Structure 1
Amino acid sequence: MKHDASIPALPCVALEPTLEFYGLLGFEVTYQQRLPNPYAATRRGGAQLHFFGVKGLDPLAAYSCCLIIVDEVEQLHEGFAAALRKTYGKVPVRGVPRITRMKKGQTRFTVVDPSGNSVMFIRRDEPGGYGDDEDDSATLLGKALKTARRLRDFKSDDATAAKVLDAALKKPDAGTPLERARALVARAELAVALADLPRANQSLREFDALVLPASERASLEADRAAVDTLMRTQE
């Protein structure tokens, strides 16, 4: 018996730039028509995306979204980012189109296409609850970190994620030193994505000034390296 299949159809401003963009990500065009209405079908492996033209579509006001389940995400993100950087001169992490950032151990990322559609690539074995349901820290910073992480990775809402961290970081006793360190690195990463390099450097200086056990500082090396990588991709 054949399995059912679901194929998302996403609106687009125009077919040509949409198909060129997805071509960078390895999607091949399997069907295209211009009349009586613009329509195209694409495929990458087992994933299919269809597109239809919509007059007057505003990419900045778009909210269409779909999920693609994949076996792994880190190498996939690396390949997508490299292809986009080659075309755009840098990895687009804000505006339209863009790709969300990737940290080691992350299980999903989002690509926003030229028409504002969000396509979320999710690792097949992603833990339930994004793997942070057991992260039940009762401190203000602990709760802020969890909320900011979900705003960043689920909604691509960097600005609100930054505000959540800012509110918690203003209070000196909001959490443990390790939570403050994690929050400062996360805030620096968000600042780079929001094109606020002075704030990014300020957060990193505060992080460097914290007194932490060597083991705790070492546990944050990957996150700090991700900020440095993001800075380089924006040069």
Structure 2
Amino acid sequence: MPTHATKTTTISGRETTVPLLPCISADETLAFYQALGFAVTYQMTRPYLYLALRWSDIELHFGKGSKNLDPSEENAGGCLVMVDTVEPYHRAFTEALRAKYGKVLATGRPRITRFRPGQSRFSLVDPAGNNVIFIQRDEPEELEYGGSAKLTGLAKVIDNARILREFKNDDRAAARALDIGLARFGAAATVEDKARALAARLELVIALQEATTGQSLKQQLLDLPLSEEARSHLSDELKAAERLEDWLARTRPSQPTPPKRTGASRRR
């Protein structure tokens, strides 16, 4: 009897996953992502809404959001973008926003979250409340909410505030944790840990625009008897507030005004 060969197929392993995110305003969505440098690869609003955008090898697609979608909750949809090194992406988007708006969109919605040295992620929050999160591949897989179990006292509070700030994007909760921790553990903490906590809280003052408490925290930080060696070791942490102020305040460099044309030049 004749035999029939069985046709087999293999999985190539070259899959592409493209997120389909909700959109409430095509114009606002396009304006934000194009400002970041995304190119529009497809655009349709009738008979239904569909947008496709691309930046490098990152593709984001958008469809009409539900009637119950509340952008203010900022949980409409999400996408994780895994990268080797996260800082260059943050820098590229920051520069693109400055080029478009003359400033960074750092508050409200849409926005880009801030970035501190050593941080392993940041987010783009778009007009519909979607979160596109850029994550460094070697980021630890497990987080200990409440702070690392290996730490105690103010050191553990500082670690908890870091997680609230960088992974939950909850600056107010991070500020509360530091305020409570400083009050509870500050007297018994090492000078270095107290400096780290005050510096972290001062950076949150800038982020939360709490001008009334900033001067007091600055003075407390200045009054600490930190050695030069400790100041050098904690340099990045101590400069966090200053770095954030610079990031928020710096605008696009002004372009030189072209010289006015004289009457003679107009008649050429």
Separation in 2, partners of 1:88, 1:224: 29
Q: 2:73 corresponds to which residue?
A: 61
Separation in 2, partners of 1:104, 1:5: 31
Q: 1:4 corresponds to which residue?
A: 15
Question: In the alignment, does 2:36 pair up with 1:25?
Answer: yes
Question: In the alignment, does 2:120 pair up with 1:94?
Answer: no
Q: 1:186 corresponds to which residue?
A: 200
Question: How far apart are residue 219 of structure 1 and its match?
Answer: 1.8
Question: In the alignment, does 2:200 pair up with 1:153?
Answer: no
Kindly name which structure, 1 or 2, has the bigger radius of gyration based on alpha carbons: 2
Deviations 1:71-95 (A, max 9, x none): 2221221221222234344323221
Q: 1:225 corresponds to which residue?
A: 239
Letter in 1 for 2:163: R
Separation in 2, partners of 1:59, 1:234: 24
Match of 1:144 among 157, 165, 169: 157
CA contact (8 A) 2:196 2:238 kept: no
Letter in 2 for 1:77: H
CA contact (8 A) 1:151 1:158 kept: yes
Deviations 1:26-58 (A, max 9, x none): 222221211222111112222211111225643
Q: Percent identity?
A: 41
Question: In the alignment, does 2:181 pair up with 1:168?
Answer: yes
- Secondary structure, counterpart of 2:239 in structure 1: helix
- When normalised by structure 2's length, the TM-score is 0.79
Question: In the alignment, does 2:131 pair up with 1:115?
Answer: no
Matched residue pairs, number? 234
Unaligned runs of 5+ in 2: 1-11, 250-268
| Distance change >3 Å, CA 201–CA 12, structure 1 → 2 | farther
| Distance change >3 Å, CA 196–CA 87, structure 1 → 2 | farther
RMSD of Structure 2 on Structure 1 (CA): 2.3
Separation in 2, partners of 1:221, 1:27: 35
Question: How far apart are residue 125 of structure 1 and its match?
Answer: 2.7
Unaligned runs of 5+ in 1: none
Q: 1:40 corresponds to which residue?
A: 51
